[in-house]
Chain A
Amino acid sequence: MIEIKNLHKSFGKNEIVRGVDVQVNKGDVVVILGPSGSGKTTFLRCLNFLERAEEGEITIDDVSVKFKQASKKDIFNIRKKIGFVFQNHNLFANKTAIENVMEGLITARKMSKKQSEEIALEALKKVGMEEKRDSYPCQLSGGQQQRVGIARAVALNPEVILFDEPTSALDPELVGETLRLIKSIAKEGITMIVVTHEISFAQDVANQVIFMADGVVVEKGEPNTFFLNPKEERTKTFLQRILPEEPMYNL
């Protein structure tokens, strides 16, 4: 179980995230929706200490860390439990696909080369990239790079994987296959928090949908209630604007 309490984050005088609480049960897929600038990406980045939040606390299993007071060791321990998939992939440019997946295992987890290679290969198979194991990121398409990025997060076997708009930088035709991949990984019972604009993904895969605007959680609930019966006026206008007549991708 993962619990985030009262997260606040400002950039200068601009308070981007203004007290967000989220609870995620083991195996759940939480999808965070919201207009641009609502603070959802910043929220996600704070969980992994890519941004330092000014206030709030994160609890994963039995480990609790206050964002502001966290020491290097606390940050390392929290990052160990969290996988991150970036919007623009961020594969290590100087490493091949398999080396990208192995890097965290060898350097951070101190695994042997042989063992980490086995795990990495397994992860690459899961995302259908084992044939490209020796390709450098520049030799891969955006969709392929994102697959390796997902394998890199999965291989570390974290408690939760955070997806920061994983399909926003992809060609429309690659969005569907990447979402299908994330869905298949979700089916294995891996806990996920996904920031996305893909409504059909939220409808289809999420156990919990969170709608953020202006740095706060406006509404949250199960997808059925959330999409069919939103309570808040702000949610209704948002959904009216973006809800497609037909699902855009067949998952």
Chain B
Amino acid sequence: MNIRYDQIIKTFFYSAHYVPITLLIAFVPVVLGLIFGSLIAIGRIYRVKIVSPILDFIVLFINALPGPIIILVLITVFNQGFDSFAKMLHLAIRAKNVNVIYVGILAMTIISIPALSESIRGALLSIDQGQYEAGYSVGLSKFQVLQRIVLPQAFLVLIPTLCGDVIGTLKGSSFLFIIGVMDIINSALKFATSSYCILEAYIAAALLYWLMSIFIENIFRLLEHQMGKHRRVLG
């Protein structure tokens, strides 16, 4: 088998243009997932009546579904239902004018919420009850204790798992090629069709994912170093 290294390089540079969009469809869902995931985690930790069991169920329900099913269900619902929905709201916009990337971001957000909320819950549970009690004893409210004492500490615990979650969402977002989102994989395949260098295209895409992961890991390492001033260094 002959591998054409020049094709790898060409595809690499062609697909590199799609790195920003690929990062976007991973980054936006993680940020949204962090917001919703935090609310879910806090609701579950405080065992808020009625809400908490519903959240338990939702997390379990989404967690059990494979990513591609969520993506495909969403795109199907979108294609079949969006136009009548828009008409109902008297909007001029139609499904064919909407970039599928928004459907992709919505899908990735839904997929990332259970994992993120569980990571956040774990981080919150790692904070000693005494930290809450000390906060109450100096007169802080529940909200102030969370905001000023618990969440900053929990975030530091969260960083390593969050790094994994971000990279996981990044890799998971590659499934969006099945609904036609123009990301690294789709662009590499598009570039390869003219030369039939499919394997080279996959290698180029793999290299790009590899570099992005290293980049993300380094950012998180920096973040951990910056925020971890109060943590004892092991060893």
Contact = CB atoms under 8 A, between A and B. Distances in A.
Interface residues on B, range: 20 to 34
B125 to A, nearest CB: 15
| Centre residue among B137, B148, B149, B232 by max chain A CB count within 10 A | B137
A164 to B, nearest CB: 10
Nearest to B148: A107
A124 to B, nearest CB: 15
Contact of A48 (B128, B137, B140): B137
A142 to B, nearest CB: 14
A103 B140 CA distance: 9
B230 A88 contact: no
Interface stretch (A76-84, A199-207, A218-226, A231-239): A76-84
A109 interface: yes
B229 A136 contact: yes
Interface in B211-235: 229-232
Contacts of B128: 90
Interface in B116-136: 128, 130-131, 133-136
Interface in B42-98: none
A85 to B, nearest CB: 9
A136 B153 CA distance: 13
B135 A50 contact: no
A93 B131 contact: yes
A103 B149 CA distance: 10
A104 B141 CA distance: 11
Interface residues of A, number: 30
A91 B134 CA distance: 7
B123 to A, nearest CB: 13
Contact of B133 (A50, A95, A108, A156): A50
A90 B153 CA distance: 13
Contact of B140 (A49, A82, A104, A137): A104
B130 A79 contact: no
A9 to B, nearest CB: 16
Contacts of B131: 90, 92-93
Interface string A183-224: 000000000000000000000000000000000000000000
A71 to B, nearest CB: 13
A40 interface: no
A249 interface: no
B134 A94 contact: no
Most central of A83, A93, A94 by chain B CB within 10 Å = A94
A227 interface: no
B180 interface: no
Contact of B230 (A104, A136, A156): A136
A80 B133 contact: no
A103 B138 contact: yes
Contact of A138 (B130, B138, B152, B230): B230
Nearest to A79: B139
A90 B138 contact: no
A156 B229 contact: no
Contact of A104 (B138, B153, B156, B232): B138
Given A90-B130, A95-B230, A137-B230, A50 B153 contact: no
A107 B144 contact: yes
B133 A107 contact: no
Given A107-B140, A108-B140, A92 B135 contact: yes
Going nearest first, the 8 A-B pairs with the smallest beta carbon separation are: A104-B138, A108-B139, A90-B130, A84-B137, A90-B134, A138-B232, A136-B230, A94-B152
Interface of A: 48-50, 76, 79-80, 82-84, 86, 88, 90-96, 103-104, 107-109, 136-139, 152-153, 156
20 contacts: A50-B137, A79-B136, A82-B137, A86-B137, A92-B134, A92-B135, A92-B149, A94-B152, A95-B149, A103-B138, A104-B138, A104-B140, A107-B140, A108-B138, A108-B139, A108-B140, A108-B144, A136-B229, A138-B230, A156-B139
Interface of B: 128, 130-131, 133-141, 144, 148-149, 152-153, 156, 229-232
Given A86-B130, A90-B128, A95-B230, 6 more contacts: A80-B139, A88-B130, A92-B131, A92-B135, A94-B230, A138-B232
